[in-house]
């Protein structure tokens, strides 16, 4: 347990950040998983409808620093490429 007052404050801050990070992680993973599941099933139209939602969640995560900007860009690119491959 923290002893100094600054360490106590740092612990409080990290607990708050953890809550936000978990929320971002869950939102991103759910959006990406839904699209990947639709791609595996071959449902192009439904996957295209969910793509803006996934982009929004990824961009929000990059904005707050949860995921790096280039990682978000790469993920978005891979999702759209996977959807384009569906015939």
Domain layout of the chain by residue ranges: 5-85
Q: Where are the alpha helices (DSSP H) in the chain?
A: 5-41, 44-63, 69-85
11-52: pLDDT as tens digits: 999 999 999 999 999 999 999 999 999 999 999 999 999 999
Q: Which among 46, 55, 62 is positioned nearest to 79, based on CA atoms?
A: 55
Q: Which pLDDT band holds residue 1 (cuts at 50, 70, 90)?
A: confident
pTM: 0.84
Q: Report, at the CATH architecture level, how domain 5-85 is classified.
A: Up-down Bundle (1.20)
């Amino acid at each position: 347990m923290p002893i100094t007052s600054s360490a106590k404050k740092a612990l409080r801050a990290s607990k708050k950040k953890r809550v936000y990070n978990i929320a971002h992680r869950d939102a991103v993973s759910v959006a990406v998983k839904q699209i990947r599941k639709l791609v595996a099933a071959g449902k192009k139209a439904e996957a295209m409808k969910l793509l803006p939602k996934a982009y929004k969640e990824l961009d929000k995560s990059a904005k707050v620093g949860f995921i790096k900007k280039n990682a978000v860009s790469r993920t978005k690119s891979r999702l759209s490429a996977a959807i384009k491959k569906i015939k």
